[in-house]
Amino acid sequence: MKRGVTATEASHGIMQEGVALTGRLATSIMTFMPNPDHAAMLQVALEEARRGLAEGGIPIGAAIFESAGKLIGSGHNRRVQNGDPSMHGETDAFRNAGRQRSYRKLIMVTTLAPCWYCSGLIRQFGFQKVIVGESRTFQGGIEWLRSLGINVVDLDSSECVSLLSEYVRKNPAVWNEDIGEE
């Protein structure tokens, strides 16, 4: 995805639905969602995950944002497509974001809790905030990241759970290869 668009613009379709909501319903949704920007950011990562699935790959996507919501880069797992075991959603987004002076104020958003490899990347470059779509399918290193004082927000998205769990059910061998299980 090209750089420089905001999460809101990137998830335009979702926002359009939001605009259609009026009155009490909209108010109750806004009250229910403490930070709607997180959901909009996750939609960008989800879009990447779906793109990966359409390419025949593992549906995991990620996106990196500035704290104000500007998209810096996004990407998806390309293990199958590129035959590259190092190309996870987070690493693809990280590479697409290009060189950054500092990562402390950037937000890593990913549809799935980051694996040890990607948790290491988050620690290495000093991200202070990570938004994960879900950690039911895989817990990865989120407790370790939290122990380092990194703010990990788990949105527990049923959309993320169903997208990946269906893939895992159909492709258990590829999944186990991806997470390093024998």
CA distance 12 to 182: 41
Under the binding rule (CB under 5 A), the answer on residue 155 touching Zn ion is: no
Which among 9, 17, 48, 90 is annotated as catalytic?
90
Under the binding rule (CB under 5 A), the answer on residue 130 touching Zn ion is: no
CB of 164 to Zn ion, least distance (A): 13
Under the binding rule (CB under 5 A), the answer on residue 88 touching Zn ion is: yes
Under the binding rule (CB under 5 A), the answer on residue 118 touching Zn ion is: yes
- 161 by Cβ neighbours in 10 Å (0-12 / 13-18 / 19+) ranks as middle
CB of 115 to Zn ion, least distance (A): 4
Closest Cα partner for 174 from 55, 46, 58, 51? 58
Under the binding rule (CB under 5 A), the answer on residue 44 touching Zn ion is: no
Active site includes 90? yes
Helix ranges (H only) for the chain are 7-10, 12-20, 23-32, 36-54, 79-82, 89-96, 116-125, 142-147, 158-170, 172-178
- Residues facing residue 130 across a β-bridge: 108, 152
Under the binding rule (CB under 5 A), the answer on residue 10 touching Zn ion is: no
Q: Which residues contact 128 (CB under 8 A, 6 or more apart)?
A: 104, 105, 150, 151
Kindly indicate which of the ranges 39-47, 80-88, 128-136, 151-159 contains the residues binding Zn ion, using the contact rule CB under 5 A.
80-88
Under the binding rule (CB under 5 A), the answer on residue 115 touching Zn ion is: yes
CB of 94 to Zn ion, least distance (A): 10
Comparison of 10 and 132: residue with beta carbon closer to Zn ion: 132
Q: So which residues are the catalytic ones?
A: 90
Binding positions for Zn ion, rule: CB under 5 A = 88, 115, 117-118
